[in-house]
């Protein structure tokens, strides 16, 4: 099941980005998926589903946005290491 969303965009956006409507839709979906993943609102699985790509493709796309595929920050990793006594 899917839900359709509708957006109004100025025609000039297409000229500036050099994308047709379908390419722009895919770009917006990927941007939303990456941001929601970065904010820890979506898992890799759900974000890749939103982006319309495989999990592997999504993980590779994260590099283009300079977003790490790892869900833990440095402090979280250090806390976990200390907790485990390593």
User: Does residue 41 belong to any structural domain of this protein?
Assistant: yes
How large is the angle between the packed helices 44-51 and 55-64, nearest 10 degrees?
A: 80
pLDDT at 85: 85
10-residue mean pLDDT profile of the chain (86 residues): values are: 89 85 92 96 96 97 94 81 86
Length of the chain: 86
The total number of structural domains in the chain stands at: 1
- The answer for residues whose C-beta is within 8 angstroms of residue 2's C-beta and 6 or more apart is none
Contact 33, 58 (CB under 8 A): yes
Residue 76 within a domain: yes
Could you tell me the end-to-end alpha-carbon distance of the chain, in angstroms, rounded to an integer? Answer: 46
Give the model's pLDDT for residue 19: 84
- pTM here is 0.79
Q: Is residue 40 part of a domain?
A: yes
Nearest Cα residue to 27 out of 12, 38, 37, 17: 17
69 within a domain of the structure (yes/no):
yes
Question: Considering only CA atoms, which of 35, 86, 39 is closest in space to residue 61?
Answer: 35
What pLDDT does 81 receive? Answer: 86
Residue 63 structural domain:
11-84
């Amino acid at each position: 099941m899917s839900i359709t969303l509708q957006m109004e965009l100025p025609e000039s956006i297409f000229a500036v980005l050099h994308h047709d409507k379908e390419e722009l839709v895919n770009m917006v979906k990927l941007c939303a998926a990456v941001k929601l993943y970065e904010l820890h609102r979506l898992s890799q699985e759900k974000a890749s589903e939103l982006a319309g790509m495989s999990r592997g493709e999504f993980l590779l796309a994260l590099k283009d946005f300079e977003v790490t595929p790892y869900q833990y920050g440095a402090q979280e990793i250090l806390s976990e290491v200390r907790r485990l006594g390593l």
